[in-house]
Structure 1
Amino acid sequence: MLSSTRRSVRRMPAIGAAVALAAGMLVTLAPSAHAAAGATLPFTSIEAESATTTGTRIGPDHTQGTLASEASGRQAVRLTSGQRVEFTVPRAANAVNVAYSVPDGQSGTLDVYVNGQRLAKTLTVTAKYSYVDTGWIPGARTHHFFDNARLLLGQNVQAGDTIAFQSTGTQVTVDVADFEQVAAAATQPAGSVSVTSKGADPSGNGDSTQAFRDAIAAAQGGVVWIPPGDYRLTSSLGGVQNVTLQGAGSWHSVLHTSRFIDQSSSSGNVHIKDFAVIGEVTERVDSSPDNFVNGSLGPNSSVSGMWIQHVKVGLWLMGTNDNLVVENNRILDTTADGLNLNGNARGVRVRNNFLRNQGDDALAMWSLYAPDTDSSFENNTISQPNLANGIAVYGGTDIAVKNNLISDTNALGSGIAISNQKFLDPFSPLAGTITVDGNTLVRTGAMNPNWNHPMGALRVDSYDSAINATVAITDTTITDSPYSAFEFVSGGGQGHPVRNVTVDGATVRNTGTVVVQAEAQGAATFRNVTATAVGAAGLYNCPYPAGSGSFTLTDGGGNSGWNSTWSDCASWPQPGQGNPDPDPARNLAKGRPADATGSVDVYTPGKAVDGDADSYWESANNAFPQSLTVDLGSAEAVRRLVLKLPPSTAWGARTQTITVLGSTDGQNYTTVVGAQGYRFDPATGNTATVSLPSGTSLRHLRLTVSANTGWPAGQFSEVEAYLTP
């Protein structure tokens, strides 16, 4: 859910709940100190970059708008036609789900090989559900590059066998593969009403909507049975109450609809279990109820064992949903939230779910109209929310966020946000005790591209009003945060205080900038927080607005590894700025912020620093000169630039006339290398090298293109900067 912003105020990004509505290495992530974090899942995932491949590994990258930045682990494998990635199967399996991306507007297939033998089945891949634009959200860019596709193999494979995927004409970037042993289809419960007995068509050719309605009416107090098959529903169901909707398993009973249940109220006792609902939502329209559940299931209801995919929101819950249990579900590829408790939630438990590739918050509670109370998010695994937070709590009383595993947020949010951002009125701010316990956050937090402002892995935000609730953050593990670990901020720019916060027991490893990012007045106590490999300093303490008050950190004992303070409140610390460079031969420009005087279509400035030579920046056409500027993060003695165009022979040879300029403050630029023509020829790698004079020191690198013999625009697929000549 995002609100408008005013440029005259350093207003922090509004993140969240969906504006007005609506060889292979196993993936192993560190658990929390006292309990395993995340869901118990029926599948095992392997990252493609850990498999054997003839393709190209891309990433890591954290820059919004790049393919690698939305990948699990910030890395993936790109396959061109004929290339493959081969996984060693980690467990007995008969099914696989693959997270992948193809170029915008394209579709195709992956050939599947088991132990070297090609299957008759192929895996369909498409960009149909990807490349979502949310231009009305400040700071948002085209995102949602990945999608998921699943396949029953038709045979059993054992641990140690191999499964390979080979591109057959379309470029495919493979991110991660989930291997699963799917149980046989369940049988019909005695006394249940089958939808096929009411005329439902399991072939998917006919419209089964009325048959489902008739079965629900006939089965009041009992079970509606959905046999194996594919069913097409053309409109939503309403009046669902006092009934169980049960399928034969989420790989066997599949409903194709973008709007499953849409009702404002229900007497409750609704139980939905063990089938799949797969929609056709290709863009986010906040005024449309394109959700698996939109509204109310009523008290004492449950949702379990579901596969929910390609809808806008999995569950957008309004009205009465007291004592609802949502557990053991998979929610994939939504264009907005995975689940949002939109006020009036009492005693709700959301636990043991897997969510991947959400287009807003993966899980959210929003206390609109009335406070969400005594409700919790527990033991969920969340991967790649590609716009907002992993878990967000916007107001509410006595809320718990416990033992969740969240990874790879991008790019307007944190792993966990505890916030008084109201979005709309009437809103109920945080009250009582907010328990944040046993969570593991991996590569969470991001650089907000609208405000060029870093978001911490775990954020406490007095956005629209002071935080006076007791916020107890315990036993937290934060690993590889690109920026800070803990952030305390008044994101609306009004200086509201953040009070009554205790952080007790935390392990912080390899945080990019600081352990604590304090930007609000207020206070917090830290106990037993240990940090290693801190990028810049232990503490950034600069409340905003200036003069609004101070933030007091009380040392409760047992803290170590983060006793330094960032001294310059006029500048943000950049990742790694406080430590010696461990690799003097690294590319200083990779993954750094980039902007330009202009660009066309998807060929944005970040494509020139994403580590992927096949993607590229292209300036506005027929409007020389055009410039690309990269912020290296700190002043560096750059001696060599390597400039690239895509290596494909489809790119004809060309000469670009380029001037190299540099600046230490981003305002005043001087010429480092005067205008010269540089030849790019695919026969020699489409690469040009520029030597910079010794004594050059620059933070902001600017390349101005005044001519191009091959195209009327400036073009770079990669701009690389090195300290070595």
Structure 2
Amino acid sequence: MYTSTVRSVRRMPTIGAVVALVAGMLTAVAPAAHAAGSGAVLPFTSVEAESATTTGTRIGPDYTQGTLASEASGRQAVRLTTGQRVEFTVPRASNAVNIAYSVPDGQSGSLDVYVNGTKLARTLPVTSAYSYIDTGWIPGSRTHHFFDDARMLLGQNVQPGDTVAFVATGTQVTVDVADFEQVPAAATQPAGSVSVVAKGADPTGAGDSTQAFRDAIAAAQGGTVWIPPGDYRITSSLSGVQNVTLQGAGSWYSVVHTSRFIDQSSSAGNVRIKDFAVIGEVTERVDSDPDNFVNGSLGPNSSVSGMWIQHMKCGMWLMGDNDNLVVENNRILDTTADGINLNGTAKGVVVRNNFLRNQGDDALAMWSLHSPDTDSSFENNTISQPNLANGIAIYGGTDLSVKHNLVSDTNALGSGIAISNQKFLDPFSPLSGTITVDGNTLVRTGAMNPNWNHPMGALRVDSYDSAIDATVNITDTTINDSPYSAFEFVSGGGQGHPVRNVDVTGATVRNTGTVVVQAEAQGAATFKNVTATQVGAAGVYNCPYPANSGSFALTDAGGNSGWNSTWSDCSTWPQPGQGNPDPDPNRNLAKGRPATATGSQDVYTPGKAVDGDASSYWESTDNAFPQSWTVDLGSSYAVRRLVLKLPPSSAWGARTQTVTVLGSTDGSSYATVVGAQGYRFDPVTGNTTTVSLPDGTDLRYLRLTVGANSGWPAGQFSEVEAYLTN
């Protein structure tokens, strides 16, 4: 099911589900989202540990596969040794906290918890049991899934500005992020419902409650099964679940402990699952096991809402009839594989307003095996830290939508969003109709693919096994801090299939590590109103794979800016920011950038002023003022300070040059930024002078026009440095 092509993009569906389908051995299984903005409306507020007060060590940022910081939110975290602390300032009224953390493999311990300096009686256990996953059968994978989540009710209300601190005891703990939440009181039993406790379930977790749940479901047909506050242990999966509501008192109160909750191949539907937690004991990924919250079908017109799903292989692996299913307002954490996968046949399914963190495969996926997923959507979901694959992936299907989602921090083998014809198995239904990708925000997404030895973009369109002939409309996209490229068009299987009918309209790209468009397939796309700033290497990388397989045409429909340069050498891959995937605000933006001039003398060429060597220099044509020197910074920047240098040798006597500073965003129309002024260069002060630029100055092309030089009849600079900081 995995193509071993060297350049293949890895997307590994759960093998157990595939084997069951192929062999016919599947056992009996498995408030509206806000309209505007990207991501889910969440009941908690997250605070990054690296922004908290700590006696520990901040790690990262790091984008290197297999490192702890690369899997952290924001690619940074705080490492605590025993006795060290991290103290968070509470951002909202709260009575509960959940933290994402990591401890060394094979270890466990606890965190002491302090509220406003007072130690709580309870501690927060931490363990590596659910971390350090190895999937050696997946080419390019390494040990991954380093983080886990642990939660606790504080037993008191805290207010904004209060402090909650965690102190490591017994083991090293790396704290990534803390989620602060005001958990409402437990709900009460609905009238007429059947309580699982009345059927013999043990709310202490000591006894096996499996049969009690089955009996309650049978007794409540057409009604509600009530799961009171407590911890319930189920030792085998439930099946025959249809025409019933399973309801708890809230996901912090009613907790079911099982690694297989519902496992069924079909259902009459009308199932409502809501307001409790299902927490598993899955400590590795075994793809032949249906270790999922829901495996198979809930049947038509069903819903899942208000759930906390953790420590499963997959949250939901959905096959069979799930028409018109609504999955909303759930948390799916720490799965060793997918969060939710619509594995063919889905019609009218809506997955919205969910929070997913730390998935070991695609967080959200539609895979059109056997028959197409149709008229289904992923909307307003927040996805953080999928550590082996994509944030959201669409593999085939008809008339599908990915709208208003927020995806951050993908790793290793994944993009933020992938629109793909990678089939894995037959029969597969390629993309058709209209695929709508609208209003999504991607932050630090895209990753270095170890099988390709170069990266995948934040948003990838991939004709992996067949041409893309569907209409793909990508609109109103925001891509921030991609470590590599923003948009990628590729035939990842290496067969040279075309990518066609793609329209990209309305995108804002900020601080992308390499290029805005990474085109590696034949085909075409139209771009309109796509603006980019702080582009690391060039606007476009357009190099077909395989070589000579056909060109990719980029049609400029107007309104594009900040990415009109092209990477010129297809024999090399551009490096992030020419070496920095997260550009330093103190970086010299001009160093190494292409420079030109109206004239130069002999070997004193324009590039000498940006080569990082203050002893070499540019010198213009003699006796021909004014003379101009220009550098292309590669993208528009809010430059605030220039440092102009001449060689520091005392042989260079003091002189004054009259310089006008001009700027342009397109390389053709220049405006004066700083009018003509005399700048003194004196060997006593290192032959260096500083020019401050006014606020509000955005430029890509920096031009210095020299009108006079008191020491030589030509313009001269040994270094021109440009900075974002004053």
Normalised by the size of structure 1, how large is the TM-score?
0.78
Distance in 2 (CA, whole Å) between partners of 1:455 and 1:581 is 22
For 1:418, the equivalent position in structure 2 comes to 419
* Mean CA deviation greater in 541-550 or 63-72: 541-550
- Give matches, 1:394-409, under 5 Å: 394-409=395-410
Distance in 1 (CA, whole Å) between partners of 2:296 and 2:266 is 7
For 1:21, the equivalent position in structure 2 comes to 17
Amino acid at match of 1:106: Q
For 1:610, the equivalent position in structure 2 comes to none
1:6 corresponds to 2:2: no
CA contact (8 A) 1:16 1:389 kept: no
For 2:383, the equivalent position in structure 1 comes to 382
CA contact (8 A) 2:108 2:170 kept: no
For 2:286, the equivalent position in structure 1 comes to 285
Distance in 1 (CA, whole Å) between partners of 2:588 and 2:66 is 26
1:574 corresponds to 2:575: yes
Q: How big is the shift at 1:582?
A: 6.6
The one-character-per-residue Cα deviations of 1:317-342 (angstroms, maximum 9, x if unpaired) are 00000000000000000000000000
Amino acid at match of 1:350: V
1:532 corresponds to 2:533: yes
Amino acid at match of 1:531: A
CA contact (8 A) 2:344 2:370 kept: yes
Where 1:210 maps in the other structure, the secondary structure is: helix
CA contact (8 A) 2:12 2:138 kept: no
Distance in 2 (CA, whole Å) between partners of 1:460 and 1:293 is 29
- Give matches, 1:297-696, under 5 Å: 297-577=298-578
Amino acid at match of 1:422: K
For 1:645, the equivalent position in structure 2 comes to none
Distance in 2 (CA, whole Å) between partners of 1:370 and 1:168 is 52
Q: How big is the shift at 1:169?
A: 2.5
For 1:85, the equivalent position in structure 2 comes to 86
1:191 corresponds to 2:192: yes
CA contact (8 A) 1:524 1:552 kept: yes
For 2:681, the equivalent position in structure 1 comes to none
Where 2:377 maps in the other structure, the secondary structure is: strand
CA contact (8 A) 2:15 2:288 kept: no
Q: How big is the shift at 1:584?
A: 6.9
CA contact (8 A) 1:200 1:208 kept: yes
Distance in 1 (CA, whole Å) between partners of 2:331 and 2:69 is 23
Distance in 2 (CA, whole Å) between partners of 1:143 and 1:511 is 25
Where 1:63 maps in the other structure, the secondary structure is: coil
CA contact (8 A) 1:266 1:296 kept: yes
Where 1:221 maps in the other structure, the secondary structure is: coil
CA contact (8 A) 2:532 2:561 kept: yes
Distance in 2 (CA, whole Å) between partners of 1:292 and 1:397 is 27
Q: How big is the shift at 1:107?
A: 0.3
Amino acid at match of 1:170: T
Q: How big is the shift at 1:578?
A: 9.2
Q: How big is the shift at 1:18?
A: 2.9
Distance in 2 (CA, whole Å) between partners of 1:237 and 1:584 is 58
Distance in 2 (CA, whole Å) between partners of 1:12 and 1:583 is 37
Change (3 A) 1:458 1:83: same
Amino acid at match of 2:422: Q
For 1:27, the equivalent position in structure 2 comes to none
Change (3 A) 1:453 1:18: farther
CA contact (8 A) 1:537 1:578 kept: no
Distance in 1 (CA, whole Å) between partners of 2:584 and 2:280 is 48
Q: How big is the shift at 1:451?
A: 2.4
Where 2:197 maps in the other structure, the secondary structure is: helix
Distance in 1 (CA, whole Å) between partners of 2:318 and 2:507 is 33
Q: How big is the shift at 1:21?
A: 2.8
- Give matches, 1:122-201, under 5 Å: 122-201=123-202
Distance in 2 (CA, whole Å) between partners of 1:464 and 1:413 is 17
Amino acid at match of 1:462: S
Q: How big is the shift at 1:217?
A: 0.2
Q: How big is the shift at 1:6?
A: 3.5
Where 1:49 maps in the other structure, the secondary structure is: helix
Task: Report the number of matched residues.
Answer: 575
Q: How big is the shift at 1:20?
A: 4.8
The one-character-per-residue Cα deviations of 1:143-169 (angstroms, maximum 9, x if unpaired) are 000000000011111111000000112
Amino acid at match of 1:548: S
CA contact (8 A) 1:140 1:450 kept: no
Distance in 1 (CA, whole Å) between partners of 2:587 and 2:298 is 58
For 1:113, the equivalent position in structure 2 comes to 114
Distance in 2 (CA, whole Å) between partners of 1:241 and 1:578 is 56
Amino acid at match of 1:525: T
Percent identity over paired residues: 84
Runs of 4+ in 1 over 4 A off after TM superposition: 578-586
Amino acid at match of 1:307: W
Normalised by the size of structure 2, how large is the TM-score?
0.78
For 2:258, the equivalent position in structure 1 comes to 257
Q: How big is the shift at 1:450?
A: 2.8
Amino acid at match of 1:324: L
Distance in 2 (CA, whole Å) between partners of 1:277 and 1:578 is 44
The one-character-per-residue Cα deviations of 1:618-661 (angstroms, maximum 9, x if unpaired) are xxxxxxxxxxxxxxxxx999xxxxxxxxxxxxxxxxxxxxxxxx
Q: How big is the shift at 1:14?
A: 2.1
Q: How big is the shift at 1:577?
A: 2.0
For 2:231, the equivalent position in structure 1 comes to 230
Where 2:399 maps in the other structure, the secondary structure is: strand
Where 1:224 maps in the other structure, the secondary structure is: strand
Q: How big is the shift at 1:35?
A: 3.2
Distance in 2 (CA, whole Å) between partners of 1:74 and 1:21 is 32
Distance in 1 (CA, whole Å) between partners of 2:237 and 2:137 is 27
Change (3 A) 1:16 1:417: farther
For 1:60, the equivalent position in structure 2 comes to 61
CA contact (8 A) 1:17 1:364 kept: no
Change (3 A) 1:578 1:142: closer
Gaps of 5+ in 1: 23-33, 587-634, 638-725
Radius of gyration: which is bigger? 2
RMSD between aligned residues: 1.7
CA contact (8 A) 1:331 1:354 kept: yes
